[in-house]
């Protein structure tokens, strides 16, 4: 195996077309932040944007800011900013609510479009919210059943038939980082007559996505990971234009009404993507998200993807090179084309090792039962960061620093 030197890594950084983008983010000195797949860092422009929204729009403008500052239109305006990052034409994306709420809306909308069918398909190993929400969607509807890919069948062909109404899958597996073929899977699901819903939480903003070209029906995703919108920042929904006017989601709040200020007694949904709105939105959070999305202006996602593949390849190679004797397993695909921007290692003492890494300024996270996750966001991670992270990991293992009792004490958030 060819070895990688420190000079090799520095040469990669010298040729990096995205290197200057790191300056757009607020990152503590010396910290190697490999947890953007869980929570992205703050853009330096956000505090001023938030201060302006608080002091001027809310403090001085008060209720007039719904009109004068564009508050009322923010969900659609942010949808227009997101559309190009998702391969979505205008008027098909809206920002609102949380990921869990939007999954519920999308699943119920898909079920309504296939009301003659009675099966929901999702992944046994999917993110728990996807499992919990599909379970909740069946409550009070005894005709509905659920099939789990990986439990009721190993492949999609094993769980697809004429009874399947909707299929909800993650584009990138939150544990392994595996990237799935959106176009091929969408074709397969639609050929079976079902509605395809994609969860893009771990791919939006980091992997080039082509929702329109892939003929996707519905998609949802968060904005606080690779889009850096802040803790709990609003989610988004995509609905293909061909479904507009036929979509009915159950959270029929006033923001989704066709004429909300006519104050009609009966619900009359907006015929377009605004039908996925529900109640009043968290405007201050949307202002932070707007500033975060501005950071992506002019960024070439093809370059982001190329650097992402370099970073994850480098990390895996260096772990093999420097830590081969320390019991780590690779849980992510070896082929970079089949990975998102995340690498997952396994180790029986993974939690303590991750806590030791964090104490040394290398931030990743841990997922049960034995998974150390590392996210590589090319806008602010360098190749030398990867070199230094693996050097610290090697030192922690060789000195057995991770064995200190304090690193085995479990926190509420891992």
Sign of CA dihedral 155, 157, 158, 162: positive
The pairing of strands 119-123 and 164-170 is parallel
- The answer to whether residues 17 and 299 touch, using CB atoms and an 8 Å cutoff, is no
Which entry of 104, 224, 276, 380 is annotated as an active-site residue? 224
- How many residues does the structure list for the chain? 414
Which entry of 199, 217, 365, 385 is annotated as an active-site residue? 199
Measured between alpha carbons, how far is 277 from 254 in angstroms, rounded to an integer?
8
Three-class SS state of 139: coil
DSSP state of 141: -
Residues 6 or more apart from 346 whose CB is under 8 A from it?
A: 328, 329, 330, 331, 370, 371, 372
Active site residue 199: yes
- The answer to whether residues 135 and 76 touch, using CB atoms and an 8 Å cutoff, is no
Using CA atoms in the order 165, 171, 177, 180, what is the torsion angle rounded to 10 degrees?
90
Q: Give the residue among 283, 287, 232 at the shortest CA–CA distance from 48.
A: 287
- The answer to whether residues 49 and 290 touch, using CB atoms and an 8 Å cutoff, is yes
Q: Give the residue among 152, 166, 158, 103 at the shortest CA–CA distance from 132.
A: 103
Helix axes 383-399, 301-323, angle to 10 degrees: 20
Which entry of 305, 307, 339, 373 is annotated as an active-site residue? 373
Active site residue 238: no
Active site residue 224: yes
Measured between alpha carbons, how far is 75 from 70 in angstroms, rounded to an integer?
10
Q: Give the residue among 91, 33, 41, 18 at the shortest CA–CA distance from 230.
A: 41
Beta strands of 133-269 (E only): which ranges? 145-149, 164-170, 195-199, 218-221, 236-239
Q: Which helix (H) or strand (E) holds 119?
A: strand 119-123
Q: Give the residue among 198, 228, 175, 174 at the shortest CA–CA distance from 87.
A: 198
Which entry of 147, 175, 225, 274 is annotated as an active-site residue? 225
- The answer to whether residues 130 and 123 touch, using CB atoms and an 8 Å cutoff, is yes
Measured between alpha carbons, how far is 241 from 137 in angstroms, rounded to an integer?
24
Which entry of 104, 127, 174, 328 is annotated as an active-site residue? 127
Sign of CA dihedral 286, 224, 42, 411: positive
Q: Which helix (H) or strand (E) holds 313?
A: helix 301-323
- Which residues are catalytic, by number? 127, 199, 224-225, 373
């Amino acid at each position: 195996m060819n070895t990688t030197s420190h000079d090799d890594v520095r040469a990669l950084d010298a040729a990096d077309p995205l290197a200057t983008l790191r300056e757009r983010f607020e990152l503590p000195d010396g910290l190697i932040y490999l947890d953007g797949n869980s929570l992205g860092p703050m853009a330096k422009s956000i505090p001023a944007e938030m201060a302006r929204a608080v002091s001027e729009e809310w403090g001085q403008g008060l209720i007039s800011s719904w009109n004068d500052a564009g508050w009322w239109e923010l969900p659609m305006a942010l949808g227009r900013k997101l559309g190009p990052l998702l391969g979505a034409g205008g008027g098909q994306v809206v920002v609102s609510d949380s990921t869990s709420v939007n999954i519920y809306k999308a699943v119920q909308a898909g079920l309504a479009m296939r009301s003659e069918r009675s099966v929901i398909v999702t992944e046994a190993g999917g993110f728990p919210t996807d499992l919990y929400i599909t379970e909740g969607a069946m409550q009070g509807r005894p005709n509905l059943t659920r099939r789990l890919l990986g439990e009721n069948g190993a492949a999609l062909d094993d769980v697809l038939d004429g009874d399947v109404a909707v299929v909800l899958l993650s584009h990138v597996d939150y544990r392994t980082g595996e990237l799935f073929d959106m176009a091929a899977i969408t074709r397969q699901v639609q050929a079976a007559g079902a509605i395809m819903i994609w969860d893009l939480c771990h791919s939006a903003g980091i992997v080039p996505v082509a929702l329109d070209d892939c003929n996707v029906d519905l998609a949802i995703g968060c904005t606080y990971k690779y889009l850096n919108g802040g803790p709990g920042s609003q989610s988004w929904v995509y609905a293909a234009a061909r479904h507009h006017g036929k979509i009915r989601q159950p959270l029929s709040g006033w923001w989704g009404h066709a004429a909300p200020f006519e104050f009609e007694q009966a619900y009359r949904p907006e015929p377009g993507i605004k039908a996925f709105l529900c109640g009043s939105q968290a405007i201050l959070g949307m202002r932070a998200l707007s500033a975060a999305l501005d950071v992506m202006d002019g960024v070439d996602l093809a370059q982001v993807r190329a650097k992402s593949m370099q970073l994850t390849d480098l990390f895996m190679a260096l772990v093999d090179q420097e830590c081969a004797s320390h019991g780590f397993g690779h849980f992510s695909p070896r082929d970079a084309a089949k990975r998102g921007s995340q690498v997952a290692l396994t180790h029986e003492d993974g939690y303590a090792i991750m806590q030791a890494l964090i104490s040394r300024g290398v931030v990743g996270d841990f997922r049960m039962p034995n998974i150390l996750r590392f996210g590589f966001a090319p806008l602010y991670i360098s190749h030398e960061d990867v070199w230094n992270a693996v050097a610290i990991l090697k030192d922690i293992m060789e000195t057995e620093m991770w064995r200190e009792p304090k690193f085995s004490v479990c926190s509420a958030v891992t």
